[in-house]
Structure 1
Amino acid sequence: MKGKDHFLVAGRITWDFRRLSEEETDWGNKILFLPAAKNMSMLVVESSPWNANDFGIPYPTYFHPAKDSEVFEWQERMRSLERKWLFSFAGAPRPDNPKSIRGQIIDQCRNSKVGKLLECDFRESKCHAPSSIMQMFQGSLFCLQPQGDSYTRRSAFDSMLAGWIPVFFHPGSAYTQYTWHLPKNYTTYSVFIPEDDIRKRNVSIKERLLQIPPEQVKVMRENVINLIPGLIYADPRSELETLKDAFDVSVQAIIDKVTRLRKNMIEGRTEYDNFLEENSWKYALLEEGQREAGGHVWDPFFSKPKPGEDSSSDSNGGTTISADAAKNSWKSEQRDKTQ
C-alpha cells in the first residue's frame, strides 16, 4: 500500500517534525516532509491543520488506571465533588506574544470573585505539583484553555480528567485535533469563546458562562466525565476489561483508516472529492456520507499567510507557523529543565 498501512507514534507536537529550513542547526527535523513519510500516519499530541499525514491523540495525564473499577471510582468521585469556583485558569502570561490573550484571561481571573487563578511562572511554581493542579481543577466548574506555546495544552486533558468543563478560544486547541476521542458536537462538553471576543471586545468570561442554564451545565459536566475513559492511558502492565482507553481508540481508528483506504484502492476510488491537503482539518469534521469539504465557519482561524506576508497578520491568531511553534515548544521544555 506504499506505506499507507504504516503508522508511527511520537510524544511531541507535529511542528517538531516539520522544520521549514534546511539548516541542521535549527530545531526539529523534517521527517514528516520526507517522501517516505507522506503516506504514513504519525500520531502526535498536536497535529497540523494543513497536512494529512498526522493525527492528534490525547496528551498523557496523571491517571493510569490498572482496572475498570479504578476508572469507575474516579468518575464517581468527580461527580460528587463540590465546585466552589465558576471558572479557573492555570498558566503563565505570554508577554513576548502580542497575539496572546492570556494576560486578559489572567486579569479577569484576578478581578472576579468567582474566578480562581494558579499562576505558573518560570521559577518555583505550584503548577509543577500534580496535587496543586488537580486540587484546583476539582474545585471548578469551567476551565479556561487558551492556546499554549502552540495550539494545544496538556492542561486541557488534566482538567477534563477532573470533570471540569473546558472553555476553548481557538478551534485548533481541541475541536480539529482530537476528532477520534472527542465528539464532533463540541457544545455537548465544552464552551467556545472566540479569541477576538476577548482580545478586541473584552467580553466578560464570567458573564458568558453565567448565561448557560444550570441544567445545561450539569449535562455538560456529566458528558465530560463520561469522556474520561477514552482520554486516559491505562497502565500498560494491565488491560482494561470493558473500557477502551486512548490507546485502544487510537489504534482502532488507524485500523479503520487503513481498512477504508484498502477498500477504496480495490474499488479504484478516492475517499473524498477534490481533496485539498491544506484543508485537512475540515475532513474529519464531515458528516457521514459527505465527500467534499466546502466553506467553514472556522476558515478565518486557519488562513495561512500568503507569500511575503507576515504570519502574524491573521487577526484570529490562527497561523501558528510550524517554525515558531516548534521553537516555543523547545523554549518551554528548556524552562522546565532549569527549574
Structure 2
Amino acid sequence: MPPPPPPLPSFSLILLLFLLSSTTISQSQDTDPESDCTDKWIHIRHLPPQFNVDLLKNCSEYPLFDNFCPYLSNHGLGQKTHNSSHSWYRTDPFMLELIFHRRMLEYPCLTSDPNQANAIYLPYYGGIDSLKYLYGPEVNSSILHGLDLYQYLVHQDSPNIWNKNFGHDHFLVMARPAWDLIQPLSADPPIFGTSFLELPEFYNVTVLTFEARAYPWQERAIPYPTSFHPPNLAFFESWVNRLRRTRRPSLMLFAGGGGISANPNVRRSIRLECENSTSMSVNGTRYTKLCDFVDCSNGVCEHDPLRVMKPMLQATFCLQPPGDTPTRRSTFDGILAGCIPVFFEDLSSKKQYQWHLPEEKYEEFSVFIPKEEVVFKGLRVLDVLMSIPRAEVRRMREKVLEMMPRVMYRKHESSLGLRSKKDAFDIAIEGTLQRIKSRLEEIA
C-alpha cells in the first residue's frame, strides 16, 4: 500500500503562500541584467483578487464539476503522489491557470512598465471563474462571463494600457476547451457553456486554451498539464533513461472511457478489437498482449498517475481517439511515458498544438488512422500497427522522447540545467510573443 498523501493545507495558508511568493518573485525578476529581453518583455497587469485568488475560495462549491480544493497545493500542481516523490503530483489539468501564473512570476523578462512591454499578461483564472456559469448559480447568465473583467480593464484601471492597442497586446490562459466558451450570445434558452470567446470585447486578446477550434480567431491550444513536473535535470534525465530501458510487452493501449454504446464510433471499434485480440509475435517481437485496455470511466484515472502510467510504460502505441471533444490529456501522458501516439482525426493533433508539436513533425513521432476507415470500412487498428517495421518503431519512440520536454510543465523554481530545455510554458510564451508581434505589425 502506498503511503497516504500529506494533509491538505488550509485554503488560507495556500493563499498566503501564493501572495507572498508572487510579491517576492515579481520584484526580484523585474530587471534581470543577465537576460536578453529584446522583444520579450512582458508586463503582468494588476488584477484585484476577485479575478484570481478569491475564486479559489469556492473550490468545494461545484459538486457537479468536482471538489478541486485538494489540487490547489504546490501552486496548482496538487499534492505529491507519495511523500518521497520529487517529480510526480496529483495534478488536475483545470489548475493550469495557477500553474501558468506561478511560472509567469519567475519569467526573466518581466517589466513593471506596460509601455516597455511587448505583451501584457492577464492573471485571470477564467476557467475557474466559468464554473459558476457552467455548474453554479449563474448558469442562466453565462453570456456575462468576462464582462466584469472588461469593465475593470477599460474603465477602472489605467484605461490607457488597454486603449494603446485595444487588447491586441494582451493574453491570458483559460483552462477549458474552447468549446466550453463559445455559447452564442443569442442562445435562448442558454446551452452548456459560456460566451467568453464570443464577446466582441475580447476578440483582440490572445487566449491560450486546452483545445482550439479548427479556425480560431483568438485562441491557441497549449498542452494539458500531466502529473510529471521534474524540479531539475537529474530527475528528468533519470526518467528518460528509464523509458529507454523499459520493455514493452503490449503492442497497443487504450486508456479511456466510452465505447459501450451500440452506435458506431471509433471508441467502440477499438474496444471490440481489444476484446478479440490475442498474443502473438509481430515483426519478430513477442507481445504478451496485442491490445491492453484501461477503463478510465467516471474520471477514475484523473488524479492517479500510476493507474495509467504503468500500462503506458508497457505499451508501444497509445491510442488517442476523440471523445466529448477532439483532444485528450492522455495524449501528453502517453508521450511522457514514451508511448507512440495514434491519432484518428486531425483536430486531435495537427490542427491543435502547432507551437509545441509542429504539423510537419507528426509523421516522425505518431501514427494517423482516419476514424472513418476504422468505423465504417472495417480497417483494423492492429493491422496498421503490426505492419510498421521494427526499425521505424524505434525511430518513432526516440522522436517521442525528443519531443517530451516540449509538452511537460516543469516545476516552478526548477534548476538552471532543466531550464535550458524549453518546456510547454516556454514554448507557449514564445508563440504568444510572436503572435502578438505579428498582430501589432498588421494593425500598425
Distance in 1 of aligned mates of 2:171 and 2:419: 26
Correspondence 1:201 to 2:402: no
Correspondence 1:155 to 2:330: yes
Give per-residue Cα distances to partners, 1:212-250, cap 9 Å, x unaligned. Answer: 111111111000111111101111243543111100100
Correspondence 1:165 to 2:343: no
Q: Match of 2:197, as an amino acid?
A: L
CA offset at residue 2 of structure 1? 2.2
Q: Match of 2:170, as an amino acid?
A: H
Q: Which residue of 1 is the match for residue 239 of structure 2?
A: 74
CA offset at residue 128 of structure 1? 5.5
CA offset at residue 196 of structure 1? 0.9
CA offset at residue 262 of structure 1? 2.6
- For 1:190, which of 348, 366, 370 is the aligned residue? 366
Q: Which residue of 1 is the match for residue 257 of structure 2?
A: 92
- For 2:424, which of 246, 266, 269 is the aligned residue? 246
Structure with the bigger RCO (C-alpha within 8 Å, sep 6+) is 1
CA RMSD of aligned residues (A): 1.9
Contact 2:250 2:315 in 1 (8 A): yes
Give per-residue Cα distances to partners, 1:56-112, cap 9 Å, x unaligned. Answer: 000000101111222222111111100111101011224559453111101111211
- Give 5+ residue unaligned stretches, structure 2: 1-164, 279-289
* TM-score (normalised: structure 2): 0.57
Correspondence 1:134 to 2:309: yes
Residue identity over aligned pairs, in percent, reads 35
Give per-residue Cα distances to partners, 1:155-198, cap 9 Å, x unaligned. Answer: 11101110000000011011100000003221101000001111
Structure index of larger Rg: 2
Contact 1:93 1:106 in 2 (8 A): no
Contact 1:9 1:42 in 2 (8 A): yes
Distance in 2 of aligned mates of 1:193 and 1:225: 22
Q: Which residue of 1 is the match for residue 435 of structure 2?
A: 257
SS in 2 for 1:11: strand
- For 1:217, which of 393, 396, 404 is the aligned residue? 393
SS in 1 for 2:442: helix
Q: Match of 2:422, as an amino acid?
A: K
Aligned residues: 265
Distance in 2 of aligned mates of 1:99 and 1:47: 26
Could you say if the C-alpha distance between residues 127 and 30 of structure 1 is closer, same or farther in structure 2, counting changes exceeding 3 Å?
closer
Could you say if the C-alpha distance between residues 127 and 85 of structure 1 is closer, same or farther in structure 2, counting changes exceeding 3 Å?
farther
Contact 1:68 1:242 in 2 (8 A): no
SS in 2 for 1:10: strand
- Give 5+ residue unaligned stretches, structure 1: 267-339
Distance in 1 of aligned mates of 2:391 and 2:225: 31
